[in-house]
A = this chain, B = another copy of it.
Amino acid sequence: MTNIITLPIGDDFHTHLRQFKKVDELCMDARNLAPLGLQGGFQRFLAMPNLKPPITSTAQALEYQKVLEESAPGGTFLMSMYLCNDLSVEELETAHKAGVKWVKLYPSGVTTNSDGGVDDIEEYYPHFERMQELGMFLNIHAELPKSWAPESLNVFSMTAEAFFIPVLQDIISDFPDLKIVIEHVSSRVMVDFIATRDRNVGGTITAHHLLTILDDSLIDRSLTCKPTPKSPDDRQALLDVIDSGNKKFWLGSDSAPHPTSKKLSYACPCGVFSSLNLLPILVHIFEQNNMLLGENGELLNTLPNFISKYGREFYKLPELEGTVTLVRKPQKIPESIFGATPFLHGKTIDWSIK
């Protein structure tokens, strides 16, 4: 049994770092959240733009980036723009020049702060055209809203991801050179769809979708999220595609804190707060699924590739310098941090950052 492992410092390509204006709730303040990812073993982060108001200008993005960098010295924060009517095609060029190369597509109403999102995909074809030319990246929350579907279609939380595939297929065939990433993949059918597309399509996978299924979400409100974790078979598909070394899949934690008081109210907001101890949790999950170590106790490439290589290569980003060492030392995840409930709160995991 190996009791110490060293991993490349990694990228979390999907995280919610919330606002930096004055907010009542500590867990919704970017200045508290930005350093957590570094403490959790990561160095570079793709910050989601669904703030209130959403990030629709380069100036907003750079202002946000500055606060994040000041709050978490040593961290690199990649910025993303929120696709909506307020984001002009012209602004994309300004953004691209400033290094803001990511655009997030939220179908209207599918998750937290997505109300002003996209209602009609074709309205954004000029954006996709320009993004394709510039080499920008389109990140998609791939769930079909009920409002997009005919009444007779059996759209609900278990099928919304699968029913989004025809929408994806249209975008892919109309913009074959656009780089597209499906966020927080949760179903076998989406794994298979991505795996069989060409190299311009990838997918991120969260820690919580590797560990939980629907039944867990139904009981424990700290696990309620979008897209909802699905069947044991869907979870296995996520584990298997990572285990196979498929380059089209990499980590995006989708860490999304909400105040515990709101999570435990009747109208539970969606989001799992996983940035605290993210790397030890991933090591724990990979080991439990025999994806961490080889037959002779040597570290397999699977986890390093998942947290560092595959996403970076897709996004054409430089390799990060530095490593993180973890030791087999059980730790109990706290019940609360900044008034939010972290993923696996109160549970003991086998590994700690040295």
Q: What residues make up the interface of A, taking CB atoms closer than 8 Å to B?
A: 154-159, 213-215, 217-222, 224, 228, 231-233, 264-268, 341, 345
Contact = CB atoms under 8 A, between A and B. Distances in A.
A104 to B, nearest CB: 23
Contacts of A233: 154
Given A218-B218, A266-B341, 13 more contacts: A154-B232, A154-B233, A156-B215, A156-B231, A156-B232, A157-B214, A157-B215, A158-B214, A158-B231, A221-B221, A222-B266, A264-B265, A264-B266
Contacts of A232: 154-156
Contacts of A217: 218
A266 B154 contact: no
A1 to B, nearest CB: 25
Contact of A219 (B214, B224, B231, B264): B224
Contacts of A215: 156-157
B266 A218 contact: no
Contacts of A265: 264
A222 B221 CA distance: 12
Contacts of A266: 219-222, 264, 341, 345
21 contacts: A154-B232, A154-B233, A156-B213, A156-B214, A156-B215, A156-B232, A157-B214, A157-B215, A158-B158, A158-B231, A159-B231, A217-B218, A218-B228, A218-B268, A219-B267, A219-B268, A220-B266, A221-B221, A221-B266, A222-B266, A266-B345
A302 to B, nearest CB: 23
Contacts of A214: 156-158
Identify which of A156, A158, A265, A267 gathers the most chain B CB atoms within 10 Å of its CB: A156
Contact of A154 (B228, B231, B345): B231
Across chains A and B, which 8 residue pairs bring their CB atoms closest together, nearest first? A154-B233, A157-B215, A156-B231, A264-B264, A220-B266, A154-B231, A156-B215, A219-B268
A215 B213 CA distance: 15
Nearest to A235: B156
Contacts of A224: 218-219
Nearest to A160: B215
Contacts of A156: 213-215, 231-232
A345 B267 CA distance: 12
Nearest to A266: B220
Nearest to A223: B266
A349 to B, nearest CB: 18
A268 to B, nearest CB: 6
Contacts of A341: 266
A44 B267 CA distance: 34
A266 B344 CA distance: 12
A231 B218 CA distance: 15
A148 to B, nearest CB: 15
Contacts of A231: 154, 156, 158-159
Given A158-B158, A231-B156, A232-B155, A267 B220 contact: yes
Contacts of A220: 266-268
Identify which of A157, A159, A217, A222 gathers the most chain B CB atoms within 10 Å of its CB: A157
